[in-house]
Amino acid sequence: MDLIAQSMEKVLKGRDARRSKTVPIRPPEERDKLVHAFHPDYKKEEYHRIRVGPNAGERTVREVVELLESDSPVPNDLDLTPQYRVDVLVVGGGGAGATAALSAHGQGANVLLVTKLRMGDSNTVMAQGGMQVAITEQDSPVTHFFDTLRGGHHKNDPNLLKILVEEGPMAAKWLIELGVLFDRDGSGNLRTKKGGGSTQPRLLTCSDYTGLEIMRVLKDEVLNRQIPILEFSPVVELLTDSEGQCTGAVLKNLDNGQFIVVSAKSVILATGGSGRLHIEGFPTSNHYGATGDALALAYRTGARLAHADTFQYHPTGAVFPEQLAGALVTEGIRSDGGHLVNQNGDRFINELDTRDVVAAAIIRECADGRGVKTPAGRVGVWLDVPMIDQLMGEGSISKRFPAMVRQFERYGIDIRKEPVLVYPTLHYQNGGVAIDVEGRSGTQGLLVAGEASGGLHGRNRLMGNSLLDLIVFGRRSGIAAALRAKSVTAGKLTLAHVLRFRKELEKNAIKPTRVAPIILPDYVRREEIAAAASDP
């Protein structure tokens, strides 16, 4: 019997013994120590100093420094005659962008939504765990506030956080009115599940398709309202006037390579995160276009970033089969009682601790030789999925995790019978462009919503708060952008901030190693491809 099979035997045999024991949440000092020792955010040699712009002097990972010190893809002398003139330009077709567009449109604004991929192709569709909303009797927005604050190591902006938790129930109500079908209990109340780092069950779910259900509905509503959409048209540069206010953007038509100029009274960046930068060489659970565009775009206009040095490595990325490497295994498995087990069949962390702590513990197990090696040379620990059927009754896994059953079935693995191997995967940008409670960045006329923004989540986002973030702040930014559009006239379109930024790079003798926005990661193999054996 090979080593994997032997170790899997231990997982199955030890299940009953494990069930009777609990692994307590460790005290804060001990958890901090674990995170500092093993979490990728604390790997000093990966961190470099930012040399230009509003965050100069701070340190972040090499990949983000390169992005912030990148060159613009737009030439200084680009013809800036606009093809579109709108009140509100929404950049990004995920959950935050769709919500912002609907909200701005609801205020009577003339809205244009532009997106890099297709409308809806985003991280939102993949969100499986659920959305945190404090609705049970034992729970309250205040409890939600403190859970999130603890998860974020007390670095969250309390004002943003208060808005998030208090408008959560209204956000859920808004989604239900649009037709989102959250899971209910027998009496018609919303069912809640407990998420990692949370003291109360407050995850609203649509089986393990929560994000897909929300995105399907939001996209359909954007189409129903006939809000104009330009797909495969990412923003490659922002435009500003002589006072530094954002007045529009330059898009690139990815089909023919041509630039498109848009004049807008407000611009909302809802371009999501940066997993496709593969920070510290990690695989990622993110979509194809998650290249941190908002960071580069907003930074050049002079907007400050918040917590741009911290990333969430989701504890349970798949490592086997090899085809699923980096893909997410939903936290819902742990919420429902699935254990994390090392090579020896032992539990090593409370599965419902915050993501940074659980990820650090998995990395520690593997670094100390208690991980399981896959045939492709990856290493991971077991997630005992089949336990859920034992805890909740036969058929629970199929009913509660249809997406995951399907995903592994494609590779001949039955998660109802076998545990799966997992290791942390790059999942979420904890920080981003600093915003106020209306979603406004430091640059006038430029708003930011969703994962692209920063401050709300502190140094570690609590699970289930991301879907809530994009609805609550998507709505707020959409409304604020529309209101601003009512009070200002269309501004002059210039590349003044780009010229200034290029000079600053030059002054600091920085030769950019990248042009950004990166738009899409480059995965194309350049080596000579062997011709297929032709068998006539």
Contact pick of 120, 248, 315, 455 for another protein (by CB under 8 A): 120
Q: Given 153, 307, 314, 427, which residue is catalytic?
A: 314
Distance CA 239, CA 259 (A): 13
Region for residue 53 given its phi and psi (left: phi exceeds 0; alpha: psi -120 to 50; beta: otherwise)? left
Distance CA 219, CA 365 (A): 42
Q: How far is the CB of 383 from another protein (least distance, A)?
A: 17
Residues written for the chain? 536
Please say which residue, 113 or 341, places its beta carbon nearer to another protein: 113
Question: Computed over its alpha carbons, how large is the radius of gyration of the chain?
Answer: 23
Contact pick of 32, 46, 220, 436 for another protein (by CB under 8 A): 220
CB count in 10 Å sphere of residue 379:
19
Q: How far is the CB of 527 from another protein (least distance, A)?
A: 9
Q: How far is the CB of 209 from another protein (least distance, A)?
A: 5
Please say which residue, 271 or 342, places its beta carbon nearer to another protein: 271
Binding to another protein by residue 92, rule CB under 8 A?
Answer: no
Contact pick of 6, 138, 242, 323 for another protein (by CB under 8 A): 323
Binding to another protein by residue 311, rule CB under 8 A?
Answer: no
Contact pick of 79, 177, 377, 536 for another protein (by CB under 8 A): 177
Q: How far is the CB of 303 from another protein (least distance, A)?
A: 24
Q: Which residues inside 11-40 make contact with another protein, applying CB under 8 A?
A: none
Residue 206 contacts residue 472 (beta carbons within 8 Å):
no
CA atoms within 13 A on the CB side of 384: 28
- Whether 314 sits among the annotated catalytic residues: the reply is yes
Using the contact rule CB under 8 A, the part of the chain among 40-48, 208-216, 385-393, 427-435 near another protein is 208-216
CB count in 10 Å sphere of residue 244:
17
- Token readout for 346 is 């032992």
SS (H, E, C) 214-266: HHHHHHHHHHHCCCCEECCCCEEEEEECCCCCEEEEEEECCCCCCEEEEEEEE
Q: Which residues inside 389-418 make contact with another protein, applying CB under 8 A?
A: 402-403, 406-407, 410-411
Distance CA 216, CA 179 (A): 10
Degrees, nearest 5: CA angle 102-463-519: 55
Binding to another protein by residue 525, rule CB under 8 A?
Answer: yes
Closest by CA position to 495, among listed 247, 253, 183: 247
Q: How far is the CB of 403 from another protein (least distance, A)?
A: 7
- Token readout for 154 is 């007390």
Distance CA 17, CA 345 (A): 10
How many residues touch another protein under the rule CB under 8 A: the total is: 98
Binding to another protein by residue 226, rule CB under 8 A?
Answer: yes
Instruction: Tell me the β-bridge partners of 86.
Output: 264
- What does each C-alpha distance from 479 to 86, 100, 456 come to in angstroms? 15, 8, 19
Q: Which residues inside 365-384 make contact with another protein, applying CB under 8 A?
A: 376
Q: How far is the CB of 371 from another protein (least distance, A)?
A: 19
- Token readout for 450 is 């969703």
Contact pick of 166, 418, 438, 504 for another protein (by CB under 8 A): 166
Binding to another protein by residue 285, rule CB under 8 A?
Answer: yes
Q: Which residues inside 500-519 make contact with another protein, applying CB under 8 A?
A: 513-514
Q: Given 144, 276, 334, 378, which residue is catalytic?
A: 334
Please say which residue, 122 or 460, places its beta carbon nearer to another protein: 122
Q: How far is the CB of 266 from another protein (least distance, A)?
A: 26
**For the chain, percent helix, then strand, then coil, each to nearest 5?**
35, 20, 45
Contact pick of 328, 413, 456, 462 for another protein (by CB under 8 A): 328
Distance CA 173, CA 270 (A): 22
Q: Which residues inside 123-142 make contact with another protein, applying CB under 8 A?
A: 123, 125-126, 133-137, 140-142
Q: How far is the CB of 95 from another protein (least distance, A)?
A: 12
- Whether 334 sits among the annotated catalytic residues: the reply is yes
Contact pick of 26, 59, 162, 500 for another protein (by CB under 8 A): 162
Please say which residue, 12 or 174, places its beta carbon nearer to another protein: 174
Q: Which residues inside 444-473 make contact with another protein, applying CB under 8 A?
A: none
- What does each C-alpha distance from 196 to 150, 454, 458 come to in angstroms? 12, 21, 16
Please say which residue, 331 or 346, places its beta carbon nearer to another protein: 331
Catalytic residues: 314, 334
